[in-house]
């Protein structure tokens, strides 16, 4: 849907919302467009290198993401106000390889110790 015309995207999203409300449907909506995720989703799950690292209700997620990768994603999202002050979160360190991961492949290089996630740890969840 990302390559679709904006008006077509809006029509599809509105249709999904209408069907959800009318029939009580649940969707798994996968997207990189955080503004669409904010509009359509009740809960947000963030994946890093193929693993779920954060799961939260939408409002909690957008107000205070817990995982450093989620924080970096939100800080990189485009804003409509060109004068808005931005606090970009830049991840530092080496980029992990998803093909041949190390045991700590899902930790964030350079993140505070409290946010180092072990290979088998559960995601940060507020649900």
Q: Categorize the per-residue pLDDT at 93 as very low, low, confident or very high, splitting at 50, 70 and 90.
A: low
**pLDDT more than 70, % of the chain:** 69
Task: Name the residue with higher pLDDT: 29 or 111.
Answer: 29
Specify the pairing of strand 43-48 against strand 51-57: antiparallel
Q: Assign 117 a pLDDT band (cuts: 50, 70, 90).
A: very low
CA distances from 20 to 1, 26, 33, 36, 44 (A): 18, 7, 20, 15, 17
pLDDT digits (tens, 9 = 90+) for 40-74: 999 999 998 788 889 999 999 999 998 888 998 99
Question: Which residue's structure tokens are 């940060």?
Answer: 124
């Amino acid at each position: 849907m990302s390559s679709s015309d904006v008006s077509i995207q809006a029509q599809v999203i509105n249709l999904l919302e209408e069907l959800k409300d009318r029939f009580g449907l649940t969707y798994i909506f996968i997207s990189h467009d955080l503004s669409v995720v904010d509009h359509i989703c009740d809960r947000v799950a963030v994946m890093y290198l193929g693993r779920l690292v954060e799961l939260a209700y939408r409002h909690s997620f957008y107000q205070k993401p817990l995982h450093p990768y989620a924080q970096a994603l939100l800080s990189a999202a485009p804003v409509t106000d060109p004068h808005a002050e931005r606090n970009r979160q830049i991840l530092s360190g080496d980029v992990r390889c998803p093909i041949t991961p190390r045991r700590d492949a899902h930790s964030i290089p350079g993140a505070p110790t409290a946010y180092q996630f072990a290979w088998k740890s559960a995601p940060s969840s507020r649900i």
